[in-house]
Amino acid sequence: MDFLEVYQRDSGQGINTDKSFYIPSARCSTAQKRLITRLTGFRQQQLPFTYLSCRLYKGRAKMEYYQPLINIMQRKFAGWKNRMLSVGGRLILIKHVLAVIPQYTFAVQEPPKTIIHQIRQIMARLFWGEAEGREKWHWKNWNALCHPTVHNGLGL
């Protein structure tokens, strides 16, 4: 707590005890946990938890940790799906909105391959669109479209 007081004084930032918590070791006794809570005013938390929209966990990545990210992308997709957008308009939405949503999370964590596959599916379904409830004809392989424009792709 002395260190946190020095930090607050020197940085001018305050510690919000309502938002702060600690994660004890599995070997930490109940008495030690109660003491930490009483001395700091922080509550106890367990892994996994979300920080800056990233799910922090110990061990292997589970699909459920990334489900909120998939849900966000699906909601965006659902809002645009029925609109009459040109191929260029859909391309801009994918590159500048959908592709940006997972960027921060993927910069700090490596998601399971299944999550990457789901994200690619969401983007591909938006790009190709549908007519009369059926997917439109795909005029080029999705992987080829993901190549940079200098290599005849669309930079997806």
Q: Report residue 119: phi and psi, to 5°.
A: -65, -45
Token look-up 């979300």 returns 50
Q: Rounded to an integer, what distance in angstroms lies between the CA atom of residue 87 and that of residue 138?
A: 12
Name the pTM for this structure. Answer: 0.70
pLDDT tens, position by position, for the chain (156 residues)?
A: 899 999 999 999 999 989 999 999 999 999 999 999 999 999 999 999 888 878 888 888 888 899 989 998 888 887 776 677 787 888 888 888 888 888 888 888 889 999 999 998 888 888 887 665 666 667 777 778 888 888 887 887
Pairing between β-strand 134-135 and β-strand 43-44 as defined by DSSP bridges: unpaired
Cis peptide before 48 (omega within 30 of 0): yes
